[in-house]
Amino acid sequence: MRRNFYRISFTALALAAAGTFAYAAPQAAVQELAKQQQQPLLDTLKDLVHIESGSKDVEGVKQIAEYVAGKLRAQGGKVEVIPATDVYRLDDTPEQVGPMVHAEYKGKGTSRIMLIAHMDTVYLKGMIKDQPFRVEGDKAYGLGISDDKQGVALIIHVVEMLKKLGYEDYGTLTVLINGDEEISSPGARSTITRLGAEQDAVFSFEGGGTDGSLRLATSGIGAAYLKVTGKASHAGAKPEDGVNALYELSHQLLQMKELSKPQSGLKLNWTVSKAGTNRNVIPAEATAQADARALRVADFSALEETMKQKVSNKLLPEAKVDLKFEVRRPPLEANEVGRSLAKYAQGIYEKELQIPMKVVDKATGGGTDAAFAALKAKGGVIEGFGLSGYGAHSNNAEYVQINTIVPRLYLATRMIQDISAGKAK
C-alpha cells in the first residue's frame, strides 16, 4: 500500500513538473523553426515592400493581393481575392477601393482563430525610390514595412510554421488581409466584423510599437460635417434680403462646444471651417468639420443623436442645416476573454522566452481593424501581434526590429496551439 502511495505521489509530482516545464521553457521545435523562418520572412518582406500599394492605388493593391494569395494558396489554404462590394461611403472614400485576401485552413479540432493585417499603405506611387527595402544592423527599412507589411509577412510565415510542424488541431484558421485600412476600411469593415463574430480569438498584426506591447483597447475615430445653406445678398445695400450662413454656422458650433466629455474619453473638436466667397456678399453657404474620439462604441451613437437634436435649434429659421456623422473607426473595447488570452500570451513571452511584455487595456493612439473584428465578437480580440518598429507613415525612417521576428513567430504559433488544445482561455 505504502509503495503504491509513493508511486502515485511520484507520478503526480512528475506530471506537475512536466506541466510547469512546458510553460517555463520554450518548445524547442517551435523555437528552432521560428529561427529558420527569419530569413525567409525577411525575403517575403522585401517582396512586399517593393510592391507599391497605396490605398488609392487600386492596381498596386491588386498586385500585392495576388502575391499574398499565392503564398497562402501554396500553404494549402482555400484562398480568394475578394473585391470590395459592400462599401461604407465616407467623406474621402475613393470611387474604387482595393480588394481583400481571405484564406481558410480546415483542421481537425474545434477552435476558430483569425489572423488579420493590412497590405495597403499611405504612400504615393513612385515613392519607393526614396526608401527601398534595406537592412542596417538590427533594423529593416522600407515604405510600409512597419505599417503593416511586417504583419502580412508574419501571418504568411506563422501559417508556414504550422504547416512544417504538421499542426492541424485547430478547427478553422482564417486569414484576412485588408486592402483599404489606411482610408478607414470602407470596403473591408463589414467582412472583418462578420468574420470576427465567428471566432474564438482574433489576433491583429499591427506593429507592437517600440516595446512589443499587446493592446486590448484602441480609441474610436469619428468625424462630423456641418453644412449650412443660406441666401446670398449684397452685404452693403441689402443684407436683410440674405440669410447669413456664417451666422448660423457660428451658432451651431457654439451650441455644440460643450459636447466633449474628456473624463470619459469622448472628444469633439471643430477643426476646419469655410464660409463666403466675397467680402461684400452675405455668405450663402458655410461648412465645418470636426474630429471626434471615443473609448466606447455607445458614446458615438449617443453623440450623433445629441448633435441631431442640437442642429434643430436654429438661429435663423430660413437657414438649412445638414449634419453628417461618420464612424471612421469604432473603439476597440477590452473584454474578459481578450484579457485572459492576453495574460496567457504574456506568460508565454515572459516564462518561455524570458522577454518582458506589457498588456495595455486602456486606449492609446488611433484605431485599427481590430475594432471592427470586435464589434460583434464573443471571443477575444488582441492588437499588436506584429513586430516592434517605428516611423509609420514616414517616408525616410520607417523600420522594424529584426530581433523581434523569432519571438513574434513563436508567440503566434504557440497561441494557436494552446487555444486549439484548450489551454489558453
Q: Which of 17, 16, 19 is nearest to 421 (CA)?
A: 19
Torsional sign, CA 134, 135, 141, 147: positive
Beta strands 201-204 and 267-275 are unpaired
3-state DSSP helix/strand/coil % of the chain, to nearest 5: 40, 25, 35
Which residues make beta-bridge pairs with 103? 79, 175
* 322 among known catalytic residues: no
Span between the terminal Cα atoms of the chain, in Å: 39
Q: What is the dihedral of CA 65, 70, 73, 75, to 10 degrees?
A: -120
* Identified catalytic residue from 120, 180, 352, 398: 120
* Identified catalytic residue from 57, 181, 182, 200: 181
User: Which amino acid is located at 266 in the chain?
Assistant: L
Q: Which residue has the cell 483569425?
A: 114
The CA-atom distances, in angstroms, between 232 and each of 67, 238, 244, 273, 285 are 55, 10, 7, 18, 8
Query: Angle at which helices 245-255 and 297-311 pack, to 10 degrees?
Result: 140
Q: Which of 223, 206, 197 is nearest to 90 (CA)?
A: 223
Which residues of 330-404 form beta strands (DSSP E)? 359-360, 380-383, 389-390, 399-401
User: Which amino acid is located at 301 in the chain?
Assistant: S
* 304 among known catalytic residues: no
Residues forming the active site:
120, 181
